[in-house]
Amino acid sequence: MNTTAPIALFYGSSTCYTEMAGEKIREQLQSHLKALGKLSADQSNAVDVFNITDEPLATGLLYDYLIFGIPTWDYGELQEDWEEIWDDIDELDFSGKTIALYGLGDQIGYPEWFLDALGFLYHKLKKQGASLVGFWPIAGYSFEASKALSDDGEHFVGLALDDENEFEKSPARIQSWCEQIVQEFGL
């Protein structure tokens, strides 16, 4: 695969919300990098977007910067596409890769398991040598427990989106997070 994009975004999505969030992230990053003059004339695309059902995660090894999107289902469960490829992650060496995560959850319907799948993915990628960035403050969210909390307990291990209950807050959150990860990626 020949790529000119500096970033690859992979997502799994059953209801299209994680996919739609990924597209919004791609658009924000594209706009932000263009405004900063970080895209050369031959780079029309800042982010290659992949559905994990169509493209193996191993493709991500061709990129230095990765974004993974994962929703949490029901009582802290993995989304089915992620569940299918979960063990494949154990075969990949993400050393030297910088990865940011975003997750979708329902803080009202499932407050005891909010974004648990995001936390599971974080710990799995960390074991595979990834350098993880993009931590997001917990302020403004209302939940009882989450496996996606960072060690300081004040941040999620990635961007937290709740399109079920706070859809109107997602655009501003995505914009701020994209500005943050561009800096953390060093782009």
Residue 83 CB neighbour total at 10 angstroms: 13
- pTM of the prediction? 0.93
HSE-up of residue 90 (Cα within 13 Å, Cβ side): 6
Q: What percent of the chain has pLDDT over 90?
A: 78
Q: Average pLDDT of 161-177?
A: 94
Mean pLDDT of 125-135: 96
Q: Given this model, what pLDDT does residue 43 score?
A: 65
Question: What is the C-alpha to C-alpha distance for residues 98 and 181, in angstroms, rounded to an integer?
Answer: 10
- Coil, helix or strand at residue 170: helix
The secondary structure of residue 110, as a DSSP letter, is S
CB 145 within 8 A of CB 153: no
Query: What is the average per-residue pLDDT within 160-185?
Result: 94
Whole-number pLDDT of residue 146: 96
Q: Can you tell me the distance from the alpha carbon of 135 to that of 158, in angstroms, rounded to the nearest whole number?
A: 5
The pLDDT of residue 80: 92
Pick the closest to residue 49 from 77, 33, 35, 29 (CA basis). Answer: 29
DSSP state for residue 138 in the 8-state scheme: -
Q: Over the stretch 13-36, which tens digit does the pLDDT of each residue have?
A: 888 889 999 999 999 998 888 887
Q: Show the domains of the chain with their CATH numbers.
A: 7-185 (3.40.50.360)
Of 4 and 119, the structure prediction assigns the larger pLDDT to 119
Q: Name the band, by pLDDT with cuts 50, 70 and 90, for residue 177.
A: very high
